[in-house]
Structure formats: structure tokens, C-alpha cells
Amino acid sequence: MTINLRKILSMNTLEAIKKRRSVKHFDANHEMTATEINILMEHALLSPTSFNLQNWRFVVVKDKVIKQQLKAASFNQAQVSDASIVIVICGDLKAWAKNPQRYWKNATEDVQAQIVPMIGGFYENNPELQRDEAMRSAGIAGQTIMLAAKAMGYDSCPMIGFNSNKVAEIINLPDDNIIGLMIVVGKATQSPKNRAGQLDMSEVVFLDHF
């Protein structure tokens, strides 16, 4: 199957940001193609990470039985089973120690010699930083996924309303990983309600200092 990527990703970034909404109602019969999922995840992998650790890990769930299990672990929220896919975004807490040379394999030797030794010294013996880094990376990747999905004509919903321990068991989460959030992606069946209320820019944006 040949897909015109330029046609799919026809929405510009600012438009995607404005139109992205957290959708709760999805067409339970719609299935994303393998090619569409691959395109979505290829763009997720372009999300930035500190030291280029690429410490996010994505569990893409299509199987209806597993989606039902995730739904049960998410207080029976219907979007988990009705959306085309569920993406559990995790973070590898020990990515910094797993052959970090590979994260810089395409860099020049002098850059590798400078950067790679810094990675271990920065994260070793600092579990709080390791966790913070994993959560930061998960959050950035989550936004990338939602904007890419919108550009592809899909809707999404980021979720933290689930039992992390149960979800970890369902997806067989490795001991050195942590769950950041879940995102469901699919075809919306209802238009989202008006935005609940945005704070004025003057309350949240400051120039140079508070």
C-alpha cells in the first residue's frame, strides 16, 4: 500500500496545535493501518531527549483484548477500548548506562569523545534525575504524537487516569522502566466541547523574569 506522506501531513504545525483537543468519543470500528501507525511512530522518534538518550519506550496496543484490559485498569474509560490504538509511553530509567556510544554513532569522533563520557557522570547515582528525565522525555514525545496524529487526520487523548501497577503488569513493563502517560488515537465520533477556559497570557507569560 502506497501512502502519500505529504498529503497526509498537510496540516501545518500551528494549525495542528490549535485544533488538537482531548477527545473522549471514538469510532470503535475504525482501524489504523500498519503504515499509518508506522508513520505516526516514525515522527514520535524525532522527539528531542537530553543527551540524545532516546529514553522513551512506546507500547502500541491494537489488540482488542489487551485494550479491554487497559480499559479495566483505566477505571473503564470508554476511549481506551474505542480508540484505534493505545500508546503507553514509558521511560527507560537506565538508558544512560546502556551502551551510550550508540546514541552518538553518527557524530564525529571528537564530539563522541566529548559527549559520551559526560552521560554517565551526569545520571549515575542520581535516581531522581533519571526519573525526571524519563518523564520529561515522555511528555515531549506525547505532544509530538498528538500533533502528528492531528496532522494525519486523527484525534487523541492524553491520559493519566489509570492504575499504573495494573498497566505495568498488562504490558509486562521492565523493572528499569517507568510509565509516563497513555495516549489513545483514533477517529472521533463527536466534536469536542468548547475549551473550558484559557488563562490570560499576562498571567502565565513573563518577559525576562517574574
- Classify residue 200: in a domain, yes or no: no
Per-residue pLDDT tens over the stretch 14-63: 999 999 999 999 999 999 999 999 999 999 999 999 999 999 999 999 99
Q: Which residues contact 94 (CB under 8 A, 6 or more apart)?
A: 130, 176
- Classify residue 195: in a domain, yes or no: no
- Classify residue 201: in a domain, yes or no: no
Q: What is the domain-level CATH number for residue 30?
A: 3.40.109.10
* 74: pLDDT strictly greater than 50: yes
Domain count, the chain: 1
- Classify residue 113: in a domain, yes or no: yes
- Classify residue 47: in a domain, yes or no: yes
Question: For residues 142 and 86, is the Cβ–Cβ distance under 8 A?
Answer: no
Phi and psi based region of residue 172 (left: phi greater than 0; alpha: psi -120 to 50; beta: remaining): left
pTM: 0.93
State which residues form the domain around 29.
Answer: 16-188
